[in-house]
């Protein structure tokens, strides 16, 4: 008789979801999820701690890989990288935030599809370049932006990078997720080739591009309604204030 599969180890997924919804510290969430999964799988405490320690040793070089680019990006920002990006994009009259992000989405997805996942990213591309360029293009059209609009543009820039990377890298044959899917399918008795899995990732990537590009196009229309309407209202109100600035005549001068 086939043995039943215990689903209790999946409790770690619930711990991660609940932790992020409650906005706990990410490191605390991951550690709690690992401990909960280990105990749910029936591991003794010593084996759970050994697994966590092994994972830490294997990834102890990751902080160095993350901190080195951050230092370089920090120096570039200190010397005016964000300002230069805003000025450069402001000189392109036809540029809008939506059009810029659609182009970045296309480039990010194509480069991820051929395995060049390191060409983008939040610390090295979105924060110092893409988000300031989106803000600069919008300021060039509508003037000074409210903080709420700035944060919205930054969120769209970050989501564009996420969508392009997530769905683009699934097309790359040597991507870890593709290899993992092929391995799990073979263990389940399903024969699958990495090339076939990658090819079937193309329709998903195309749909993701179309959906997110539509959202970015709608972002331009929404900004035009919100900021364009406010700018027109200020322009109409400005002439009505002009007569009040003309100094009144002196009555004694008129009598003379």
Q: pLDDT digits over 160-171, tens only? A: 999 999 999 888
- List Cβ neighbours of 70 (8 Å cut-off, separation of 6 or more): 123
The answer to whether residue 206 sits within a structural domain is yes
Q: Average pLDDT in the 216-244 region?
A: 71
Q: Average pLDDT in the 219-231 region?
A: 83
CB 106 within 8 A of CB 209: yes
- List Cβ neighbours of 165 (8 Å cut-off, separation of 6 or more): 108, 109, 112, 117, 120, 121
- List Cβ neighbours of 28 (8 Å cut-off, separation of 6 or more): 19
Query: Could you give the CA distance from residue 231 to residue 235 in angstroms, rounded to a whole number?
Result: 6
Can you list the pairs that 100-103 forms with residues at least 24 positions away whose Cβ atoms lie under 8 Å?
100/130, 100/133, 100/134, 100/137, 101/130, 101/134, 101/156, 101/157, 101/160, 101/216, 101/219, 102/213, 102/216, 102/217
How many domains, the chain?
2
- Residue 13 sits in the same domain as residue 106: no
The answer to whether residue 111 sits within a structural domain is yes
- Residue 163 sits in the same domain as residue 198: yes
The answer to whether residue 249 sits within a structural domain is no
Query: Could you give the CA distance from residue 161 to residue 174 in angstroms, rounded to a whole number?
Result: 21
- Least-confidence region, from 80-94, 142-156, 205-219: 80-94
Please, which pLDDT band fits residue 25 given cuts at 50, 70 and 90?
Answer: confident
Question: Which pLDDT score, from 0 to 100, does residue 103 have?
Answer: 94
The answer to whether residue 246 sits within a structural domain is no
Q: Which residue has the higher pLDDT, 248 or 162?
A: 162
The answer to whether residue 252 sits within a structural domain is no
Neighbours of 171 (CB within 10 A): 22
Q: Which residue has the higher pLDDT, 104 or 186?
A: 104
Question: Which pLDDT score, from 0 to 100, does residue 57 have?
Answer: 63
Please, which pLDDT band fits residue 253 given cuts at 50, 70 and 90?
Answer: very low
- Residue 146 sits in the same domain as residue 48: no
- Residue 139 sits in the same domain as residue 103: yes
pLDDT over 80 at 223, yes or no: yes
Question: Which pLDDT score, from 0 to 100, does residue 255 have?
Answer: 46
Question: Which pLDDT score, from 0 to 100, does residue 256 have?
Answer: 38
Q: Average pLDDT in the 244-256 region?
A: 49
Q: Which residue has the higher pLDDT, 56 or 23?
A: 23
> Quick one: what percent of the chain has pLDDT higher than 70?
76
pLDDT over 70 at 247, yes or no: no
The answer to whether residue 248 sits within a structural domain is no
- Residue 211 sits in the same domain as residue 166: yes
pLDDT over 70 at 231, yes or no: no
Neighbours of 75 (CB within 10 A): 10
Please give the residue range of the domain that contains residue 33: 9-55
Q: Which residue has the higher pLDDT, 59 or 10?
A: 10
- Residue 71 sits in the same domain as residue 35: no
Q: Which residue has the higher pLDDT, 39 or 5?
A: 39
Question: Which pLDDT score, from 0 to 100, does residue 61 have?
Answer: 52
The answer to whether residue 89 sits within a structural domain is yes
- Residue 35 sits in the same domain as residue 115: no
- Residue 106 sits in the same domain as residue 193: yes
pLDDT tens string 33-84: 888 988 888 888 888 888 777 766 665 555 555 556 666 666 666 767 667 7
- Residue 218 sits in the same domain as residue 137: yes
Query: Could you give the CA distance from residue 183 to residue 187 in angstroms, rounded to a whole number?
Result: 6
Question: Which pLDDT score, from 0 to 100, does residue 209 have?
Answer: 96
- Residue 75 sits in the same domain as residue 140: yes
Which of the listed residues 55, 74, 90 is the one where a domain comes to its end?
Answer: 55
The answer to whether residue 245 sits within a structural domain is no
Q: Which residue has the higher pLDDT, 210 or 195?
A: 210
Q: What is the pTM (predicted TM-score) of this model?
A: 0.64
- Residue 165 sits in the same domain as residue 221: yes
- Residue 69 sits in the same domain as residue 161: yes
Question: Which pLDDT score, from 0 to 100, does residue 100 have?
Answer: 93
């Amino acid at each position: 008789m086939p043995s039943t599969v215990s689903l209790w180890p999946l409790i770690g997924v619930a711990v991660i979801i609940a932790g992020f919804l409650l906005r706990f510290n990410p490191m605390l969430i991951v550690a709690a999820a690992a401990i909960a999964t280990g105990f749910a799988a029936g591991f003794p405490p010593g084996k759970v701690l050994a697994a966590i320690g092994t994972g830490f040793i294997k990834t102890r070089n990751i902080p160095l890989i993350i901190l080195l680019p951050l230092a370089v990006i920090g120096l570039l920002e200190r010397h005016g990288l964000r300002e230069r990006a805003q000025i450069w994009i402001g000189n392109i009259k036809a540029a809008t935030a939506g059009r810029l992000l659609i182009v970045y989405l296309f480039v990010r997805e194509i480069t991820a599809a051929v395995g060049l996942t390191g060409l983008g990213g939040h610390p090295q591309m979105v924060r110092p370049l893409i988000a300031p360029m989106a803000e600069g293009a919008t300021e060039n059209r509508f003037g000074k932006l409210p903080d709420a609009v700035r944060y919205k543009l930054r969120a769209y820039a970050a989501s564009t990078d996420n969508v392009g990377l997530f769905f683009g890298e699934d097309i790359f044959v040597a991507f870890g997720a593709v290899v993992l899917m092929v391995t799990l399918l073979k263990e389940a008795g399903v024969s699958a080739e990495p090339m076939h899995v990658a090819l079937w990732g193309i329709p998903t990537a195309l749909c993701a591009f179309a959906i997110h590009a539509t959202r970015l196009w709608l972002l331009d229309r929404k900004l035009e309604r919100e900021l364009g309407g406010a700018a027109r209202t200020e322009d109409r109100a400005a002439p009505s204030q002009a007569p009040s600035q003309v100094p009144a005549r002196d009555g004694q001068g008129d009598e003379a």
